[in-house]
Chain A
Amino acid sequence: MKGAQCWLGPRRFALLGILLVGVLSAWLIQLDPALLFGKAQWHQLGDFFKAALRPAMTYEDQNPATEGVFLGEIWVALYKTLVYTAAAVGLSLVGGLVFGLIGSTRAWLALASPAKPLRIVSLSGLFLVRLVMTALRSVHEIIWAILFLQALGNVPLAAVIAIAIPYSATLGKVFSELIDEAPRATAEGLRANGASALQVYVFGLLPTVLPDLFAYLLYRFECGLRSAAVLGFFGAPTLGYYLSLSWGERHFHEVWAYLYALLALIVVFDLWSGAVRQRLTTRHAA
């Protein structure tokens, strides 16, 4: 019975604490689990999940005039989602490269060294850029979308910018870390040739971090597909738009058709990007 005294070890207090906080919070927001067991709610949920087994192939309205149009519309929804993602991620790449440079410790230290003691000015500049990046990143793309849809009206640019802003900042953060962690030697060698800070960045650092950078970009693209789809709920003509229409009419079979389509898109993209990444890393190692 000696083992009993060390079940879960010292972490049991932490676990117990988290559990207590969870219960306390549930009580604070007046969580009512009884709702889950109401008959009407079960019916509703049941309808929704039963529809998963039979996704729609045509509109649920049974209008002979629209026969076969539904599947075409899924393709359009997927196509729009893909195009919006590509535009947004393309824009984020540009923003991310700029943020990556001006958000890296190295770039600012390169400005300061070796002649002038600008260290403090440099470091506060770096801090400022990082602060801006964090601010842009901490606001979700949906909030940006609401803002830009309000300001620009329902134009493609609004949705694209909404995704591109937080994505630029996220890519910038990852890129700047890659740059700061890249081997120093190559950059040092170019600086010894008289290269400027920008030349050191483009010729010395970018080529060495490019494979990692590209791999991360592919991952962001996958996230972008989901973001672009969701922005459809706010008016962009992506998958979410069609989803919200079907949802509004409680056409759950259509909803599931769109959800499966999104799943398929992401799975296909994932398989493709995995293969690309593999090729990239093996070629790099060769």
Chain B
Amino acid sequence: MSTAAQAAFRLRDVTVRFADVVALVSISLTIAPGERVGFVGPSGAGKTTLLRLLNANQQATSGEVFLLGEALEQLDQKGLREVRSAIGFVPQHYHLVPSLRVLQNVLLGRLGQQGFWASLRSVFCSRETEQVAVHALLERVGISEKLFAKVDTLSGGQQQRVAIARALYQAPKALLADEPVASVDPTRAEATMALLTTLAEEQNLTLGVSLHDQRLARAFLPRLIGVRGGKIFKDAPATAWTDSDFEELYHLEKRDLVES
């Protein structure tokens, strides 16, 4: 229990099963506070389910899940909201509210910490202190001039920065990003990874990023966990990953597809 409380994330023998598909098979892993981890592996390997699990958005079919020291299974609605609120999540497609402004979208980050009326006041009638705080975050991610822009007028890269700012506005202990470089161009990909890792370092956040790009994974993340077919393929420091490891990680999947 003490080790579970110390770890940012701890999974013990976790299986997630959907109606007729097994997404994750007896996964065990521990991620310490402040660690920066990359989840690599082919599409459909279970990376997204794993991230949803770490963000308390997915219940395990069996096994134990500890998020920031809390046992996921024992959390009630309120406990779930608290844990989700303490973990920033940047979805692959950003999931912003298209008809609202950048300011309002970032303010939505704190929903989990507010009652209904407080959140209504904050989003539709924000105080100057809140606007200043959001502006500072936008400045940090490099789009401070877009404070009052409607999000559907922004480019993909800009929307991603809004999503990152929204996650940071939660004042989280951990930051998770689902495929942050899958839908941006190569130069932007490098910048996004640099931004995420520097932010994690500055604010001492535990960072979990899922991605395909092995070069970026190795360059920015000290520890890589390979996932394939719902199982952990290899969990090791990035320096211990060889080219043939990556080849095998992606190659095996192809052979499986042919066989099945």
Contact = CB atoms under 8 A, between A and B. Distances in A.
Interface of A: 114-115, 185-186, 188-196, 198-199, 202-204, 207-208, 210-211, 284, 286
B97 interface: yes
A188 B109 CA distance: 13
Interface string B82-109: 1111100101011111111000000011
B111 interface: yes
A208 B167 CA distance: 21
Contacts of B108: 190, 193, 195, 203
B91 A115 contact: no
A284 B99 contact: yes
Given A115-B73, A207-B97, 7 more contacts: A114-B80, A115-B75, A195-B108, A199-B116, A202-B116, A203-B111, A207-B100
B28 interface: no
Interface stretch (B55-63, B137-145, B196-204, B232-240): B55-63
Contacts of A199: 111, 116, 119
Given A198-B116, A203-B108, A203-B119, A193 B100 contact: no
Contacts of A186: 95-98
Given A114-B59, A191-B57, A193-B85, A185 B111 contact: no
Contact of B111 (A188, A190, A211, A284): A190
Nearest to B120: A202
Q: Which 5 A-B pairs have the closest CB atoms?
A: A194-B112, A189-B95, A194-B85, A194-B84, A195-B111
B97 A185 contact: no
Interface string B139-178: 0000000000000010000000001001100100000000
Nearest to A202: B120
A118 B51 CA distance: 24
Main secondary structure of the interface of A (DSSP, over half): helix
Contact of B112 (A195, A207, A284): A195
Nearest to B100: A207
A208 B99 contact: yes
18 contacts: A115-B59, A186-B97, A188-B57, A189-B94, A189-B96, A190-B108, A192-B84, A192-B89, A193-B85, A193-B89, A193-B109, A193-B110, A194-B81, A194-B112, A194-B113, A196-B81, A198-B116, A199-B111
Contact of A196 (B73, B97, B116, B166): B116
A130 B167 CA distance: 37
A77 B55 CA distance: 60
B88 to A, nearest CB: 8
B123 interface: yes
